[in-house]
Structure 1
């Protein structure tokens, strides 16, 4: 009869935080202000969802009212060429994306990016700032050009209305079926709601209301999507940890039947592997693929 299994080490959460720190640092983010481990994990998802755009080619579509002032036309053409050829759009984003804990209410609430259309690259790698700025909805395979707006027009609901009028299917997942708003917010009220961390619905056409297509934000001013995805990952890591610490769990019993645990003291670690993560047990040299831990896009 084999000796009982001894679980020497299982700390997947700490392993994950270490991986997240390494990835953020490699991407160029200063994480010195992230004191607590839970901050690191949450801000990792903020970076993933809001401060980076995967680099690959996309089609470009224009709203019916799209118009670019002559002085920004060259910058617009250069930006379009980058989109269609699959080049990095990061230099055109806000300089705030350099900060790991940058808060972007426009992204959090409406899922919309703003871009600068300058043609000169500054020493820090970002395009010289321009105004007005381009508002666009960035999807996996397309960029939907909504229009050029003053810097700071983050709560101008016309932007959402333009998006719905031209591409209603994009907002279909967020449309409130069979309901209309009893009070249509003003742009100022939208800004006040965001400042208070209150999630509200928006009217995009007569009788058509949507919940925040960007997911919205709680009173902490974080992104709901980042909070949700971070909580999901941490729940999965907790579940994995429970199984690894329990010799009688389904996972452990399966590999016990296979005779995988020749050495009876086990030490599990979550490690970086290529663009993903892997679970290893060092004493028996076992490797297990781990799904559900997203990587940052290539810089």
Structure 2
């Protein structure tokens, strides 16, 4: 019986990156992004696929799900005609990912990163495809809801405006839809505040920070935060979960010690006609398939 779930996972991820229209980094390219690549590669047999999974889950975190969104518009955007086309696309379930920064496609996700998205959960959408143009629309997505916050200029060296650490974006969420971010409240009577300069320094050093709004409500990182390698914390954690689950599933198949697996193997496991394959669904669940009879079962464990 042929089983190689880690190779299947590699193939699935590369196919999905290809479907996105994004370049597929080689294992060698991914190793270059880590200082301890040589030591880690020698000590951990799944090191290369771990890097690929982390890259893929990071890219996925930066993409906007393609669905019909319920639109909520802040007072800051009332009568702003620039948003009409984006609103139409979001509400109709059209793909707005081409309007994201071109850095989303980058092979070096720990260098060409989006710490505002990972720390605060807020996306920035350009008004021109390919991430062109200085003005950007900032949006917070939650479930099926899209909260359009404000339009800000792209922050550049030497510019006198603040974009990536602009806490006014959190203030807008707090003022208009506090229930959406209530889960991230740390305390409601905080006196702690950071200057813009302090916040920029800490973020550049891969340090997550809380945000205190005007009434003293202090929020923890609404987007879940980022790791010391500047990948989203959620992606880093789910990479390890996905690898562990892949290993467990492969062991279950080889040892035939799980009821779902037993049902999948309807003919003798020694048959050379059986090929059990691992697939990654669009919802990022792991799915085990018997290619001989197309029977399958899905692990309802999204990443």
User: Is the 1:112–1:135 contact (alpha carbons within 8 Å) kept by the matching residues of 2?
Assistant: yes
Query: 1:87 aligns to what?
Result: 94
Corresponding position of 1:139: 142
Once the two structures are superposed, the pairs formed by residues 241-252 of structure 1 within 5 Å of their partners are 241-247=250-256, 249-251=257-259
Structure of greater Rg: 1
| Contact 2:136 2:151 (8 Å CA) reproduced | yes
Matched, 1:38 2:50: yes
How far is the alpha carbon of 1:243 from its aligned partner? Answer: 2.3
Residue 195 (structure 2) pairs with residue 186 (structure 1): yes
- The answer on 1:22 being equivalent to 2:15 is yes
**Higher RCO, 1 vs 2 (CA within 8 Å, ≥6 residues apart):** 1
Give the equivalent residue in structure 2 for 1:98.
105
The answer to whether the Cα contact below 8 Å between 2:278 and 2:289 also exists between their aligned partners in 1 is yes
C-alpha deviation, 1:294, in angstroms: 5.5
* Structure 2 residue 224 is matched with structure 1 residue 215: yes
- Normalised to the residue count of structure 1, the TM-score between the two structures is 0.78
TM, length-normalised to structure 2: 0.77
* Root-mean-square deviation (Å): 3.0
**Equivalent residue for 1:264, pick from 261, 267, 270:** 270
TM-superposition CA deviations, 1:35-86 (whole Å, max 9, x none): 3322211111112221x222222222222333576xxx3x322222212222
Match of 1:63 in 2: 74
Aligned to 1:195: 204
Describe how 1:147-296 pairs up with structure 2 within 5 A.
147-152=150-155, 153-176=163-186, 178=187, 180-181=189-190, 183-247=192-256, 249-251=257-259, 254=262, 260-264=266-270, 269-272=276-279, 275=282, 278-281=287-290, 287-292=295-300
Say whether the 8 Å CA contact 1:67–1:148 is kept in structure 2.
no
The 1-side partners of 2:269 and 2:223 are apart by: 49
Structure 1 counterpart of 2:120, from 105, 110, 114? 110
Using a 3 Å threshold, how does the CA distance of structure 1 residues 28 and 259 change in structure 2: closer, same or farther?
A: closer
Aligned residues: 271
Deviations 1:110-159 (A, max 9, x none): 110112224xxxxxxx2672333211112342221111112121001111
Cα separation, 2, equivalents of 1:128 and 1:230: 28
Match of 1:5 in 2: none
Cα 1:110–1:128 shift into 2, 3 Å? closer
- Alpha carbons 1:278, 1:287 under 8 Å: kept: no
